[in-house]
Amino acid sequence: MPLLFDPLKLGALTLENRIVIAPMCQYSAKDGHATDWHLMHLGTLGLSGAGLVIVEATGVEPEGRISPADLGLWDDATEKTLADTLARVRAQLPAGGHVKYGIQLGHAGRKASTARPWEGNHQVAEADGGWVPYAPSALPFRNEDVAPIALDDAGLARVRTAFADAARRAARIGFDAVELHGAHGYLLHQFLSPLSNARTDQYGGSLENRMRFPLEVYDAVREALPAHIPVIMRVSATDWVDGGWDVEGTIAFSQALKARGCDAMHVSTGGLSPLQKIPVGPGYQVPHAEAVKAATGMTTIAVGLITDPKAAEDILQTGKADAIGIARGILYDPRWPWHAAAELGATMTAAPQYLRCQPSGLRQLFR
C-alpha cells in the first residue's frame, strides 16, 4: 500500500489515509450560519475519499470573521445550524463514515471585515455591514485600510474565551478534530510576526512574548476539548518579507506546541503582508514542513500546489511530511483521491452508489 493511503494517527484519532482537505473559505454563510451551499460542498468533499476534511476558517466571534459571509461558531444558533449541516452530510456517507471531519477555528484580526474575493477583497466599511477589526497593534494590513483596534487586556481575555467556547461547541457538534488558524496573516499569526506586532507589553517584542498569546489560545482550546479530539495548528512558516516571521521562529513555536501536546502542524506560508514575494511552484511550501518535522519530530501536513500523486507519495516516502494537504486542487478535481489511488495502485472506500463507475482495468480500486 502506498504511504499516501496508509492510516495516520493524530492523537487518539486514526485517519483512513493521509490525504487532508485543507480549509477553504466559501464566503457563503449568512450571519455566520451554514447554508445549503455548505451542505453541498461538505458532502462533495466527504465523498472524495480523503481521510480528513477540515471545514473552512470559522469565526470564534462576529468580529473575527474574514468577511461578513464567513461561517461562525459563537452562539447556540450558529452551533445548531452547523450541527444540522454536518449531521445531514454524515447521514449520506458510506456505512462506517470513514472520512473524518475537522473544523478550523480562527480570528481574522486586522484582515477582518473584507469583501468576498469576487467582490474585490477590499475592506468593508461599517456603513456597508462591516466593522472595525481588532489586532495586536493598530497597524492596518494595507495603507488604505482603517487602522484596527489594538486588543487590551479585556479584549485578549474575550478572544481567548471565544476560542475555548467555540472549541466546546465543535466538540458538541461532533467534529473529529480542531485546527487553530495561526497562518495567512490572521490574528494568531499577527501576534507572531514582528511586522504586525508592535506591542511593548508581555505580548510583544521578544520571540517568547510574541508567541505568548497564540500559546495561551492553544492552551485554552486544549483544555476545553475532550482528550480524544486532536488539536492541529496551522502556521505560516514565513512571511516572505525581510524582517518578518520566519522558519526559525516557526520551529521555536512548534517546539513550544509540542511540549503542550499539540497533535500536528499544518505548514503553509505567507498572507501577512502585501509586500510578500512568494516563489510559487509545485510543492513550494514543502521545505518548510520538512524543516518543522526535522527539528521537532512532530506530525506535519504539507501543502502548496501538490497536485501530482507521485509527487505526494514521494514527499511521504522521503520523510518530508506525514500527510498531504490539498485545497484548490480538489475543487478542480473532487475525485483526486480516487485518481491518486488508481495511479499508485492503492484501494480505497467509496459509496456503494458509485462502485459501478470503476473503469474495467481498475476492478481493485474500491474495497
What's the pLDDT band for 74 if we cut at 50, 70, 90? very high
Amino acid 97: pLDDT? 67
Q: How confident is the model at residue 242 (pLDDT cuts 50, 70, 90)?
A: very high
Cβ atoms of 4 and 324 closer than 8 Å: yes
pTM of the model: 0.96
Q: What is the pLDDT of residues 288-338, one digit of tens each?
A: 999 999 999 999 999 999 999 999 999 999 999 999 999 999 999 999 999
> What 3-state class would DSSP assign to 331?
helix
Residue 96 has pLDDT above 70, yes or no: no
Report, as an integer, the average pLDDT of 167-191: 98
In a domain, 252, yes or no: yes
Question: What is the chain's mean pLDDT, rounded?
Answer: 96
Instruction: Flag whether 133 is in a domain.
Output: yes
| Residue 203 a catalytic site member | no
- Range in 151-160, 165-174, 262-271, 347-356 with the lowest mean pLDDT: 347-356
pLDDT of residue 363: 67
Number of domains in the chain: 1
Report in angstroms the alpha-carbon separations of 334 from 43, 251, 313. Answer: 11, 33, 19
Residue 140, domain CATH: 3.20.20.70
Query: Mean pLDDT across the stretch 52-80?
Result: 98
Q: Is residue 246 part of a domain?
A: yes
Is residue 367 in some structural domain? no
Chain centroid offset of residue 231 CA: 11
Percent of the chain at pLDDT above 70? 99
In a domain, 212, yes or no: yes
The answer, yes or no, to whether residue 55 has pLDDT greater than 80, is yes
What average pLDDT does range 275-295 have in this prediction? 96
Asked whether residue 362 carries a pLDDT value surpassing 80, the answer given is no
From the candidates 101, 186, 203, 218, which is the catalytic residue?
Answer: 186
Who has greater pLDDT, 93 or 18? 18
Domain extent at residue 305: 3-362
- Residue 192 has which C-alpha cell? 507572531
> pLDDT tier at 43 (50, 70, 90 boundaries)?
very high
Residue 285 carries which side chain, given as an amino acid letter? Answer: Q
Separation of alpha carbons 212 and 258, rounded Å: 15
Position 367 scores a pLDDT of 78
Contact between residue 225 and residue 215 where contact means Cβ atoms under 8 Å apart? no
168: number of Cβ within 10 Å: 15
Min mean pLDDT across 101-105, 241-245, 278-282 is at 278-282
214 pLDDT band, cuts 50/70/90, is very high
Crossing angle for the helix pair 153-173 and 207-224, to the nearest 10 degrees: 40
Task: Give the pLDDT confidence score for residue 250 in this predicted structure.
Answer: 98
Residue 112 counted as domain residue: yes
